[in-house]
Chains A and B, each alone.
Chain A
Amino acid sequence: MIQALELDVPARPEYIAIVRLVVSSLASARRNLADQRVDDLKLAVSEACTNAIEAHAAADIDEPVVIRVLEADERLEVQVSDSGGGFDPDDLPRHPPVTDPERLNFERGLGIPLIRTLIDGVEFINSDKGTTVRMVFFGGPAGDTGDETSEILRAVLADEE
């Protein structure tokens, strides 16, 4: 994979809009992604950056959050790395069903499920240095017919079923 972009952004909320803009502009310009998929990418990147910034705030860390965008023939990968204390994505509190009035007591915890739904492949890597969220989108370089992409996507979806 070739690294297309690396951004070191201050871990402050006002920078997330800039990250969304830069990453989605790059994806639109360089990849064969439908507008709807670019929206998915924007949302997933926003969720990952929000978690990273909140992790830094919780641990009172003054380090930047690092966003890397990597490209290969058939996919785009976005990595969001923080220096926070890490977390277990499989050990998040479960929300009550949406029909349960108790559901309204949960204003948080929707970001990780959103990322998992929107992204073709996601991995949470914890280390001593923090957490890296790897998010993979299938979609060839801009200018492709998209047929190959559809094949890959179909294969992934078939695997999940």
Chain B
Amino acid sequence: MTGQIMLKALITAATVLTLGPISSVADELSGEALYGLACAACHNPGVQVDHRVGPPLGKLNQRKAGSVEGYEYSAALSASTIRWNQAELTGWILDSDQRVPGSRMVYNNQLTINEIQRLANWLLAEQAK
């Protein structure tokens, strides 16, 4: 019960924080669809650096932040001790500038907290492929 109230409060707070529109419809977009809408232009889902401006997101689970060979990271992210998991990814997507000041991802989150979690789940599961 308390947990549910807390989650509700968090979702409300997240909606306000992200300036996202408040949708009356339950979030139903899949993690993969959200990846296509929010990440794919800058991050490929594999493990090789390609033409995209961000690093690849394959095999992300427990990967150390700033560690993909051949990708030019900010000093700030290279120096961070983050290892990617649900919690870290959620915080990063929500506000990467706040999470690692000086990092270079230029991204303004538009996703709700539910969507971020679904996206993070999908991204972390992708490492199995």
Tell whether A pairs with B. Answer: no
